[in-house]
Amino acid sequence: MQRLLELRRKKTALREQADAVIDKAAAEKRALTPDEEKAADKIIADIQAVKRDEERHIALHPEIAEEARKVEQTRVPSATPGDGAATAPKPFRSLGEQLLAVKDFYTDRGLDKRLTEVRTGPSGLNEGTPSEGGFLVQQDFTAELLKNTYDTNEIPRRCRRIPISGPSNSFSMNVIDETSRATGSRWGGIQVYRVAEAIATTASKPKFAKLEMKLEKMMGLCYATDENLQDATQLGAIISQGFTEEFGFKLSDEIFRGDGAGKCLGILSSPALVTIAKETGQAADTIVTENILKMWKCRKGRNLAWLYNQELEDQLETLTLAIGTGGVEMRLFAPPTVAGGFGTIKGAPAIPVEVASGAGDVGDIVLADLSQYLLIDKGDIQTAESIHVMFLTDESTFRFIYRVNGQPMAKSKITPYKRTDSNFYVSPFVTLAAR
């Protein structure tokens, strides 16, 4: 992990060097000189080289990416006493206070100078024109909004999340292209041999597949009445709850069933999904013990959880398994022992989720290792306000834009090393066929 952190620190330092060259010319209101262009191009080439080293390191050690992210998030730059590096005061005391300032700006009541202390809209846009720009939510409010979006929703919270920084709008990494555990296919082609002394052996190498994503916009709208807008605290609470709940729901739904066209590629659309056929004669809209046992048999991963439609819970409660020669029945589903907790099936958490399909449809119950689902995002959130959308009902509309995308890391389901059933595969994502 230390190597990955060093590469990222080096990349940040190089970007700062390039920014210094460009900012100097901008401050002097002139174009780059030939020497400055050469220096900037050299730094950019160095950044690309470091980025390639970083991607290779993550591909070889994918488990460290999340650990490195947590370390980077918890690291606070230290200030040397007396060097004037004290933390700058935050422009706004609350989200509601900032949103009221945004509303005043868009209703021609003047620009609150504190809005200019928070970074303005994307490069090339005019934050002074409502149709062309907006204001970014203050960074500490952004962090809290995103934290609540993930922490209050079980599906995004369990995914592997990688923030995209700087000018980059896409992400790519090499993943092991492994479709079979048969000899000669593990890790896409690595193989080892027993050999006699001085006997040459056959070389082998891993096979990689490129996982590529670009950031896509997700937009949320929240309406507030004129009465709400009189109270900054109330407005902040309304926006925070409404925004985080709706973004969490939309993100969860895409992780579950997105088609990948301008949105996340969902589990149910993934080529890695294993679908278990229903039992012969099984009644419509039902779950039976054999379904659960066959799904569990196809599992792959260490962070598995059952995601199911709460409509099925009464059926899950009745599933049993005969144990021993006496046929003693054991319940498959263990209900939660505390309020707000989760039950278990075969020892893995069983979580009711709102985005699961209706009973009998594909996706009404899914066994998933969501740590094998990758989310990328741009941490900044842009907001704008309009009094025109809901003019007749005396409401203001706040628009939030969050750039995010995601897809499973696995490219396909896996053929086990030994099997007798040609239809038997394992995967981090398993579901039932329609019934």
Number of Cβ within a 10 Å radius of residue 358: 11
Of the candidates 424, 296, 391, 308, which has an alpha carbon nearest to the alpha carbon of residue 356? 308
Return d(Cα 427, Cα 271) in angstroms, integer. 10
Q: How far does Cα 167 stand from its chain's mean position? A: 19
**More confident of the two residues 233 and 157:** 157
More reliable by pLDDT, 183 or 343:
343
What's residue 391's pLDDT? 66
| Chain centroid, CA 26 distance in Å | 36
Residue 318 dihedral angles phi and psi, to the nearest 5°: -95, -5
Closest C-alpha among 96, 95, 399, 408 to residue 218? 399
- Tell me which H or E stretch contains 253: helix 232-257
C-alpha to C-alpha distance for 421 and 415, rounded to whole angstroms: 10
Please report which confidence band the pLDDT of residue 215 belongs to, taking 50, 70 and 90 as the band edges.
very high
pLDDT in tens, 183-199: 878 877 777 877 776 66
- Considering the entire predicted model, what is its pTM? 0.66
From the number of C-beta atoms within 10 Å of its C-beta (0-12, 13-18, 19+), residue 369 rates as buried
Any idea where the domains of the chain sit in the sequence? 1-74, 170-213, 215-432
DSSP 243: H
User: DSSP 3-state assignment of 144?
Assistant: helix
Instruction: State the pLDDT at residue 176.
Output: 76
